[in-house]
Chain A
Amino acid sequence: MTKSELIKNISAQYPQLSVRDIEMATRHMLDYLSDALAEGERIEIRGFGSFSMHVRPAKQGRNPKTGESVMVPEKRVPHFKPGKELREQVDYPENTSGKA
């Protein structure tokens, strides 16, 4: 599923809202999540999962071409941890039988 398919699916569920509104709402939601992460905030969606920031510290690296030693700056990487419900729903049924 792509973003445009997601918008179509939400629209089908909310015919009282225009497709344009759903499109804008989806864009606002994804931008809001990106902003929260950029500000270093955690995002927790019950049943779905949580997003947090992992920080890779600055390290001494090397230019593979010249062999020259360079400082690689600290890097921030968004990380997603699926929630219990999502984890059980995507897993093979035999792993979750009686639990999901």
Chain B
Amino acid sequence: MAVTKAEIVDMLFETMGLNKREAKGVVEAMFDHIRENLAQGEEVKLSGFGNFTLRDKNPRPGRNPKTGVEITITARRVVTFHPSQKLKAYVNGSEPDNG
């Protein structure tokens, strides 16, 4: 079972005593602000967690995998996430620190 906004809201309710409405608002605000900044072409850097960066991709030839028909994949802008050193170390079992 995946973690969703509902679990994050419950966690804030339990650890901080924010009421459910406030907690839901704060959780949504966080993801909305990250999304809006990226939509405006601005990168988002969350120290200790990771950076959301934008990449401009050139057009390239592609192929419909079902029909085999060749098409050009248009130039596009995509979001990539780069986990911080701290997060990478943490998921590989090292102790968290306060850095």
Contacts and interface: CB of A to CB of B under 8 A. Distances in A.
Given A1-B45, A3-B47, A37-B91, A17 B83 contact: no
Interface string A23-34: 011101111111
Given A3-B46, A14-B25, A33-B3, A78 B18 contact: no
B35 A86 contact: yes
Contacts of A45: 4-5, 31
Q: Secondary structure at chain B's binding surface: helix, strand, loop or mixed?
A: mixed
B35 A89 contact: yes
A59 to B, nearest CB: 15
Q: Give the size range of B's interface with the partner.
A: 35 or more
A68 interface: no
A77 interface: yes
Interface of B: 1-5, 8, 11-12, 15-16, 18, 22-23, 25-27, 29-31, 33-35, 37-39, 41-50, 52, 54, 74-81, 83, 87-88, 90-93, 96
Interface of A: 1-3, 6, 9-10, 13-14, 16-17, 21-22, 24-26, 28-34, 36-38, 41-51, 53, 75-80, 82, 85-87, 89-92, 95
Given A44-B4, A90-B78, A92-B77, 9 more contacts: A37-B91, A45-B4, A47-B35, A76-B91, A78-B50, A78-B81, A80-B81, A89-B39, A90-B38
